[in-house]
Chains A and B, each alone.
Chain A
Amino acid sequence: MKDWRYWIAEQRGALLAFGIFLVMFTIYTSNHPAGLTANVVQTASNKGVLLAFVAMAQTLVVITAGIDLSVGMIFILTNCLASWLVVGTPAETALGVAAVLLAGLLCGAVNGAIVIFGRLQPIVATIATGAIYFGLALLLRPFPGGSVNEDLADALTGRLFGVLPASLVVLVMVVLVVWVPFRRSVTGRAAYATGSSELAAYMSGVPIRRARFAAYSLSGLLAAIGGLFLTFFTYTGEAAYASGNAYTLFSIAAVVLGGVSLFGGRGSAVGAIFGALAFRTIGDLLFVFDFDPLWQPLFQGVVLLFAVSLGALALFRVRNRLEWFG
């Protein structure tokens, strides 16, 4: 077999998510009254990046065969924090952004430390820390409010050179600056190895703890970038419990749509991003076809089931039933 075939086989999940997104987005734009304009793309991008960031955050943890049920709450907490800190002069704003990102990183690091050193199940540990993070968010913003540096917010949610949505550019930059180095680093390789077979990884002298810790910490950082963008879109901070939970669950849906294995060791953040964008486009599709928005959750569920079934189609071709359990 040629090298590229192996590459395709490895990226199948991400390519499938990309395909689903492309089909849905094409249907959307071709039925949109305005068609494919810079404005439409910008709106779609701004809607999509929030979940994309949170889904990336989830991906990192899922790769290590863990799960992070606190990503949505880190997202909400950093939103509330940003509505206090990301204000004032450019220097103050920059400091505020740094502080918010650091807070996210810290939240992730706490998750990591509990899972690694406390030896708790990730699912239990992050339910608990998620509740704590939401509690902190509530203390910061008992009522919706606050503000954000509007120049920065408008710049990052607007367009570059009149065409490129700035939020999309930031997303791509984050992929290049955070994801790609992680994927190519020894730590990233170790994260995959840990998720695939922790025992084999340990026996091979792979830095398991470092990999886990990095995955959880970076996950917090990515969720914080999402939280910042939420603030840029809404200009306020709000400790919205339902929204935090929804983002957590949708991030898992996006990750699965994007071909990341919940058993760990397989998939990429790029796949998860397309999974997130596809998931978001469902709502837009309902909009252009004039459906009542009430239908949205139902349709999201149907599309998710359908997409996941596509990934499972291969099971029907299995001639050896033992492979069902592999």
Chain B
Amino acid sequence: MAGTVPLFRMEGISKRYGGVRALEKADLTVEPGRIHAILGENGAGKSTLIKVMAGVVSPDEGRMTMEGRPLVFASPAAANQAGIASIFQELSLVPELSVADNIVICDPPKKFGMIDRRAQRRIAEAALARAGADDIHPCALVKDLPLSRRQMVEIAKALARRPRILILDEATSALAAADVARVFSVLKRLRTEGLALLYISHRMNEIAELADECTVFRNGRNVATYAAGTRSEHEVVELMIGREYSHVFPAKPERDFRGATPMLECRNLSWTGRLNDISLTVAPGEVVGLGGLDGQGQRELLLAFFGVLRGMSGKIMVNGRAVRITSPAAARGDAIGMALIPEDRKTEGLMLPMSVRENLSFAALDRLTTAGVIDRAAEQRMIDDMVKLLAIKTAGLDIPVGALSGGNQQKVVIAKWLMRQPGIILLNDPTRGIDVGTKQEMYRLLRRLADEGAAILFYSTDYDELIGCCDRVLVLYDGAISRELTGSELTEHALIASALNLAGGKPGVSPGAAA
């Protein structure tokens, strides 16, 4: 291959949405056999860049070439044909179809004009094996798989297309740590096979491990391209946000919570084999983290507190009083005062087509209502306070919440619950897919809420976050608490070791003793 003609190049690509410039004369060069990381805050233009490459949106100006030949994509299918496969942040799998159906969906094998099921099965099995996910049954329906397995199917699906360029947009954000390791070895193998990989992630450690070169985007432009390892993490963050960046995490107060009556407590909580004899306490003012690999029961534990699960055994106590929480409506009520920031803001947190205003007041409507009529003035006051408190960036309160950026959407979800002034706040991986700046604001907010007396139970898949934000971290393994880490024990090494339930993680705190 000639050294002068790159595999893929885009030059001067611009894209505007209304008055907003998503991309402004962006350039990018992609070479085979290399992993190219794209960095940038949300709204920096990464998503638009990917969408242009994948044929989802067409640019207003600029040109793309593949080995010197100009490319124009009319649809995602055209980009596929050209050899560009993408794995999107929003999963592109069809839930009611089987894993095998999904893997071959772009170009099913045919015999006599009909889909050849045997060939389909072979292709699917091969693709799953290539993606390092051969534990997934090709006949299983995608909707029955947990999020992390779906992501593996998504990767297998992209590989089945035999692409020359593979785009991974936050592809590991839903993955359990064990899967991330497998995906990384797969990606490294693909690199040696001569594939060009474009890797978008907010996780710096992943980029440090994988990337050969990095391009940083800011405000729709590529501001810097450099060989991996030539810039410090600090410098990279500076490039991304373009401002001084000092303490990521707010300081933790030195406090001892052991004497206090726990605000939230559970004893011997079990549920259908997914939660096994869990006991824990959260004191007012305390931020307790839930760690461990994804899918070890963290999500179920939060749902159990929030009254979503049926047929649980064990006891839940609020302020030392035993309570029965039978629905989210009961959980948020005045007697309990609980809020849950859900995992998936787009489906569980927001009504996307409805306005920012409506979304903000949903959870607190009962408090804003007199004799069945919403007090618009009181609603406006509360909304104004929240928009100010969380610095929500929106063009107006009456635009659909779906039009906001991911970080601002998540702020709306949190603000909606803060309007009830909850005493107990449960968070399910709230910073996934959110830019560094918003994350930092969120960490400060959490600490502030805790200082004001809230009890916070915080599940995160990001180890740095657990270490930086939490007073104490409970590591879950197979539905049970395998270890409790406090103070100086709270290190990345200890977290990973106990998440994997390694012998090096010391004998775990016995679950009963935590109460």
Contact = CB atoms under 8 A, between A and B. Distances in A.
Contact of A205 (B77, B143, B327): B77
A193 interface: yes
Given A201-B94, A202-B76, A203-B88, A186 B110 contact: yes
Contact of A186 (B75, B88, B115, B311): B115
Contact of A266 (B56, B80, B96): B96
B353 interface: no
A21 to B, nearest CB: 24
A185 B114 contact: yes
Nearest to A190: B105
Interface stretch (B63-71, B302-310, B388-396): B302-310
A199 B88 CA distance: 12
B104 to A, nearest CB: 9
Nearest to A261: B96
Interface residues of B, number: 42
B139 A6 contact: yes
A3 interface: yes
B507 interface: no
Given A184-B114, A193-B105, A200-B94, A1 B88 contact: no
Contacts of B137: 1, 6
A322 B349 CA distance: 13
B343 to A, nearest CB: 10
A10 interface: yes
B76 A204 contact: yes
Interface in B397-430: none
Contacts of A202: 76
A204 B94 contact: yes
B97 interface: yes
A265 interface: yes
Interface string B69-110: 000000111101000000010111111111001100110101
Given A184-B114, A319-B311, A196 B95 contact: yes
B303 A196 contact: no
Contacts of A265: 94-97
A184 B95 contact: no
A3 B124 CA distance: 14
B145 to A, nearest CB: 13
Interface in B133-162: 137, 139-141, 143, 157
A184 B98 CA distance: 14
Given A193-B105, A265-B96, 18 more contacts: A1-B140, A185-B115, A189-B101, A192-B94, A192-B101, A193-B97, A199-B90, A199-B92, A200-B93, A201-B94, A203-B92, A204-B76, A204-B106, A205-B78, A319-B271, A319-B311, A322-B303, A322-B308
Contacts of B303: 320, 322
For the complex of A and B, list the 7 residue pairs with the smallest distance between their C-beta atoms, beginning with the closest: A205-B77, A265-B96, A196-B96, A6-B139, A203-B92, A184-B114, A193-B94
Contacts of A6: 98, 137, 139-141
A254 interface: no
B76 A205 contact: yes
18 contacts: A6-B139, A7-B139, A184-B115, A185-B115, A189-B108, A189-B115, A193-B97, A196-B97, A201-B94, A201-B105, A202-B76, A203-B56, A204-B92, A205-B75, A205-B106, A207-B77, A265-B96, A322-B308
Nearest to B93: A200
A308 to B, nearest CB: 19
Contacts of B108: 186, 189
Contact of A181 (B75, B78, B114, B139): B114
Interface of A: 1, 3, 6-7, 9-10, 181, 184-186, 189, 192-193, 195-197, 199-207, 261, 264-266, 318-322, 326
- What does DSSP make chain A's interface, helix, strand, loop or mixed? helix
B3 interface: no
A320 B308 CA distance: 6
B80 A321 contact: no
Of B88, B114, B140, B311, most buried by chain A (CB within 10 Å of CB) is B114
B96 A195 contact: yes
Contact of A321 (B98, B106, B309): B309
Of A1, A185, A189, A264, most buried by chain B (CB within 10 Å of CB) is A189
Given A319-B272, A321-B308, A321-B309, A197 B115 contact: no
A294 B310 CA distance: 44
B113 interface: yes
A1 B91 CA distance: 25
B246 to A, nearest CB: 40
A200 B308 contact: no
Contacts of A185: 113-115
B115 A203 contact: no
Contacts of B96: 192, 195-197, 261, 264-266
Interface in B173-216: none
A204 B98 CA distance: 15
Contacts of B114: 181, 184-185
A200 B115 contact: no
A135 to B, nearest CB: 36
Given A1-B137, A203-B88, A320 B105 contact: no
A189 B56 CA distance: 22
A319 B106 contact: no
Interface string B293-319: 000000010010000111100000000
Contacts of A320: 300, 303, 308-310
B137 to A, nearest CB: 6
A196 B114 CA distance: 21
